[in-house]
Chain A
């Protein structure tokens, strides 16, 4: 198989797994009632994995297709704007931290989780024209840290289990 074809197939596989994880997560009951936006972000495990095994560009593509598909399937287009803002800020921060090489995937993923929320809140502030979302950011940063730890640990385990020669 040509390397490019193999890579395309593997990235497609990763996207599919991310979508399944998103679907699974959508079936879980909300963790806290009344506070929207608190999620573990299971698909981000795949994003972290792709970021480490392939690179920023590949992770961005997988993330974008995932966002598009998820919002068509379970969400709405307004949510897509927030999600994209969050996902790309988070990815950018993770890529920079990964390059700096002083954090393990867990720390990188925590930063990703936090900045995912920061991006979403910033997008919401711009779109809604309010600065009143600051409180919300504090709550989301704490939950983002917790989910980032979880996602990072899962990502690290997957990277350990799947040999490099396979992906």
Chain B
């Protein structure tokens, strides 16, 4: 505490100010976390799904029109995930992966939500069209 007082020449009692700093930083971080939580809970619906296989984009499909996409992966296309888009939601209807987690996942529709099939390296993510991060140089 005494050391702190030396490094803050403008402070009358450095220890007190140091404690205020900690409280202030904590308050800022808590507020931001709450803000983040709000954003997470109230995020809007996306309007397209992006399917990537092993990091490469497999396809992009609009959530507005119902359709069925067969995502065939693996060396001999032996691995299959059936992606169904229906009523603005996307879900995996059936899959040949051993764990079946993706097929058991609830339908997704909100921006940023995703279904991942680890065995087939398939990632299905909902996003908002043209919501590329703006190129800000700061």
Contacts and interface: CB of A to CB of B under 8 A. Distances in A.
A96 interface: no
The interface residues of chain A, by DSSP majority, are classed as helix
Interface string A115-153: 000001000100010101111111001100100010001
Interface in B116-138: 128, 131, 133-138
Nearest to A35: B133
Contact of A103 (B7, B21, B128, B135): B21
Contact of B20 (A37, A104, A132, A145): A104
B14 interface: yes
Interface size class of B (residues with CB under 8 A): 20 to 34
Contacts of A86: 138
Given A110-B25, A134-B39, A138-B32, A37 B8 contact: no
Given A36-B137, A83-B138, A103 B28 contact: no
Interface of B: 4, 6-11, 14, 17-18, 20-21, 24-25, 28-29, 32, 35-36, 39, 128, 131, 133-138
A156 B14 CA distance: 11
Interface residues of A, number: 41
A86 B128 CA distance: 28
A12 interface: no
Interface of A: 36-37, 39, 52, 75-76, 78-79, 82-83, 86, 102-107, 110-111, 114, 120, 124, 128, 130, 132-138, 141-142, 145, 149, 153, 156-157, 159-160, 164
Contacts of A159: 9-10
A103 B20 contact: yes
A116 to B, nearest CB: 9
